[in-house]
Amino acid sequence: MTTLTSSRLERASAWRQDAAARVSRGDLVAVVVAGLVTLLALVAPLVAPHGSTDRVGAPFLAPGSPGFLLGTDELGRDLLSRLLVGVQSTWLSALVVVAVGMVVGGLVGLVAGAVGGVVDTVLMRVTDLFLSLPGPILAIAVVAALGPSLPHTLVAVSIVWWPLYARIARGEVRALAARPHLEAAKVSGVGRVALARRHLLPGAVPPLVVAASLDVGLLVMTLAGLSFLGLGAPAPAAELGAMTARGFTYLLEYWWIPVLPGLAVAFLALVANVAGDGIRDLMGDRS
């Protein structure tokens, strides 16, 4: 009986280890796919068969037509080329907003947590003010005030995206500052700047990276939604949300014109979410 129980325990342990390995491989695959999407976004204009605004064929060519893998739109523009450029715009824009949010929010949280006192109170109250505002509505108002364009959209979304990172960074810094080795460093005379640069900032970066990786999918949907409402780059720029909105007129007869850009948005959001989960798991395993 003892031998049988031991054997079952060993098999269960081996199964758990194998499952953990499969999860780890899945996480790596997800991150690699996200990296490949980023690479594709960077080189999109180079690999696109045609210019995204060039009229290169007859209108309404169906997917699979000779020379046009995904067909053409209502103006005879190659849909594959427009999708590639649209992926570049949406994906890289999401990464830019995440980077801005991490830098601005991370610095605010680092200063608030490291300095404390009145500075902490003031910075956190400002952060709370931005958190209390309805983000999408504020972003729409900013874009409407500045005028529809991709840079204005990025500015608007960045304004409402940094507060969460500030909260995460501040909480992590406060937790790190209470650890014994940092208390010992303070007693030994290490200055605030050196303490923040050498100990607090490196400790706050991993939670920010995890939060940012999980935010990319939401940002893809947000940016596509603003573009769908006409608050992105004006026509004839290739933006996935705007392409879907303009193509709705042809949904029943020429379905590929609005559906394919929508599927591209869904694919980017899925890749971002799965990769975000993978990065969270990998960094959790590392810790």
pLDDT digits 0-9 by tens, 6-16: 444 444 444 34
User: Is residue 56 in some structural domain?
Assistant: no
| More reliable by pLDDT, 59 or 202 | 59
Distances (CA, A) of 218 to 5, 23, 221: 48, 23, 5
Domain count, the chain: 1
Q: How far apart are CA 73 and CA 76, in angstroms?
A: 5
Q: How far apart are CA 5 and CA 8, in angstroms?
A: 5
Gyration radius of the chain's alpha carbons: 24
251-287 pLDDT, tens digit each: 889 999 999 999 999 999 999 998 888 888 777 644 4
What would the two tokens of residue 209 be?
Answer: 């990276």
The pLDDT score that the predictor gives to residue 229 is: 85
Q: Is residue 219 part of a domain?
A: yes
Q: Which residue's entry shows tokens 């404390």?
A: 116
At residue 184, the pLDDT reads 64
Q: What angle do CA 148, 238, 61 make, to 5 degrees?
A: 140
Amino acid 156: pLDDT = 85
141 part of a folded domain: yes
What's the rounded mean pLDDT across residues 231-243?
86
Tell me the pLDDT tens digit for each residue of 126-161: 998 888 877 778 778 887 788 788 888 888 888 888
Asked whether residue 25 is domain-assigned, the answer is: no
**pLDDT tens by residue, 22-65:** 456 777 888 889 999 999 999 999 999 998 889 998 999 999 99
DSSP 142-174: HHHHH-S-HHHHHHHHHHHHSHHHHHHHHHHHH
Q: What is residue 237's predicted lDDT score, i.e. its pLDDT?
A: 85
Instruction: Quote the tokens at residue 101.
Output: 């949010």
pLDDT at 44 (0 to 100): 92
Flag whether 15 is in a domain: no
pLDDT at 187: 60
- Whether 218 is covered by a domain: the verdict is yes
What is the average per-residue pLDDT within 89-118?
90
Lowest mean pLDDT among 96-100, 105-109, 147-151: 147-151
Residue 192 belongs to domain with CATH number: 1.10.3720.10
Pick from 137, 130, 91, 34: nearest CA to 99: 91
Within a domain: 207: yes
Residues 216 and 92: their CA atoms lie apart, in Å, by: 10
**Domain residue limits at 225:** 90-287
Percent helix, strand and coil across the chain, each rounded to 5? 80, 0, 20
In a domain, residue 81? The reply is no
What DSSP designation does 189 have?
A: T
